[in-house]
Each structure stands twice: as C-alpha cells, then as structure tokens.
Amino acid sequence: MIPFNKPYLTGKETFYIEDAVKTGKISGNGKYTQLCQDFFEKKYGFKKALLTTSCTDALEMCAILANIKEGDEVIIPSFTFVSTAIAFVRQGAKIVFADSCESNPNMDVAKLEALITSKTRAIVPVHYAGVACDMDKIMALAEKYNLLVIEDAAQAIDNYFISKNGEKKALGSIGHLAAFSFHETKNIIAGEGGLLAINDERFIHRAEIIWEKGTNRAEFFRGEVNKYGWVDTGSSFLPSEIIAAFLWAQIENLDAIQQKRLNLWNTYYDQLVNWSKSKNIKLIEVEPFSCNNAHMFYVVCESLEQRTALIKHLNQEGVHAVFHYISLHSSPYYNEKHDGRELVNSDAFTNRLLRLPLFYELEVEKVIQEVLKF
C-alpha cells in the first residue's frame, strides 16, 4: 500500500536531539528554539517568531492577543480544520463562516465585505493547500473597517503572495498575526509543532508573556528583569527543545525538501491534466497571485459518487487517497449556531475534493499509473 503520507527524516534529527539533551536544557526556549525562530524571522521577514507546541496553540495565542471577547464576530472559511474556529470560540466569539471560491477552497474574498458587521473583530484567511488567498483585497478590507487579519498558514510554509505591485511577500508575513503547523503531514515537520508569526509590533511583548504561562519569564532569561512573576493570562505554549531540535534538522534541508515536493507536484499535474479533462475532474488550481509550495495535490471530482468510486479503485490498487474537511457550518457542534446561509462551494469541496499522496519519498509514477486506470 502506498500511504497518503510518510514523514521524511533528513538524518540529522536524532543527532540534534542528542545534542539538545547534552546541553542540559530541554524544557524549551533554548539553543534550538532560538535557531529556529531566528531562521523564520530572517527568511520570511516576521517581526517576531515564537515556536509553539502546535498550530492550534499558535491560533489560540492569536485569539488571546486579538483580545477576542464574548459576542465578537470572527470571519473564517467553513472549509477548514476545526482549530481555525475553536481558537476563537474558546474566547467567546461568534464564528461567521465564509464560503469558498468556486475554483478553490480559499475564502471567496468578493463576498467578504457583506459579512462584516459592527461586531466583526478579525478576518482569518486560510491558505488552503498552501495556495495564497488574495491578501491585497483582504488587507484593504481590514484597513477600511479597522479589523485584524490573522493568517492561518498551517499549510503555507515557504510560499509567497505576489501583490498588485509585483512584490513577493511570504505568506504569514502579511496579516497582523499568523500561525503555522509542523505536524507530520506538513512540508517540514516536528511530529507536532507550530509557529506564531507576529507582524505588528504592538503584540510582541504580550505574546512572549502569553507564551510563557502568563509570566515575564522570557525577559528574566534575557536579564531584563531580576525576577519573574505572573503578569497576564497565558498557557504553556512553547515546545521543548526536543521538538525544536527535530525541526532544526528539517529547516536545514528546507530547500531540498521543497524542490523535491515541487517536482512531484509538477509530475502529477503534467501527467493527469488530459485524464482529468476526459473524466470531468478538476485539478488543483494555483492562483496567479500565488507561488506554489507543493504542500498538497488534490483533484475535484464531478460528484460524491465519482469520488467514492475513485477512492475505492485506488484503495483496491494499493493507493491510499483521502478526502478532507467537512464544512464546519454543518458540524454537529456549530450547525445550530450558524446563521443559516447556504455555503454551496464549501459543501461542494466537502463532497468532491480528493487528496492524492504527496511526500518526499513517493513513487509518484506508480500512483499516476493507478489513477489513469480509473
């Protein structure tokens, strides 16, 4: 069986983990945490980067930093992982779901303004499959209505948005705050792990406090205060040095990993484009304002029945292909809280989108061979 995902190891992970253990400080915010954070700040231009134990934690930090309160409204796409919503639900927010574009699962920016009310506090674009949302338009709306933009860039590491003036901006560096994932299914991994990117300087000081359980411990370790104490809300958001050491081995090989994934992605696209047209199946689309980080390769089937048949065929031929999210507006937890709008594009992707295997060591030709038999 060809699995849907297989974590890629560079060979240095256990070496760096052993080195971290030998330093005598493995609880977090040590040597490897600093190496990783410095890398992300310098390469992608984040004003501050803080490693977290997961993308979910990074999103929860965003919700706290945004001062989301009971009754505030936050706009997110319905076609996303539950973490995007639950981080703000925990703060008491009402989630206002945005429909997807017809051509891809990202939120339909053309319909965003109609969702903004006097209670709206933030827009949370999700860069699905690493493909950029139209950040020029989202940021313009945020400025017009004095809203925060929090990028859910869980799948978008090392990808870029091309603005109207031609400037390339790293995803996660455009909104006020952003969250990334290093889960084992992502391009670079730490098993579990995440990153909070801060692009608005007013959030930096408080973010470090929230990150360290509501204490000014980070300032204490830098010698800026002679003792630390409880000064704000927060939680244990920072990961251990073990996770950071694992991630550092991945970061060192980022360019090679990205190039290999892009080669696999391009092979999929080139060899499936004619097949897809013959079956009335759509291939993943990369917007003209987005670069491609090859996080995912998906197809959009003509119907739920066709997708079910394709999954069955591939499983029988030893290929594990999987669908993805169920629209959050129809979830058992939140459907009664939803305002009743039909989100037809989100539901269409729920029923028709299928992800093909994509990982560093994938024998992509074997998968393509089985797909073409369908």
Q: DSSP E strands: which ranges in 265-326?
A: 282-283, 297-300
Rounded alpha-carbon distances, angstroms, from residue 218 to 156, 174, 214, 343 = 28, 26, 11, 44
Q: Which of 6, 25, 47, 186 is catalytic?
A: 186
CA distance 239 to 84: 20
CA distance 196 to 98: 23
H or E element: which one contains 38? helix 31-44
> Is 233 strand, coil or helix?
coil
CA distance 158 to 188: 10
- For residue 100 the two structure tokens come to 């997807």
Q: Is residue 354 a contact partner of residue 303, using CB atoms and an 8 Å limit? A: no
Rounded to an integer, what is the distance from CA 87 to the centroid of its chain? 14
Active site (annotated) includes residue 186: yes
230 beta partners: 215
| Residues known to be catalytic | 186
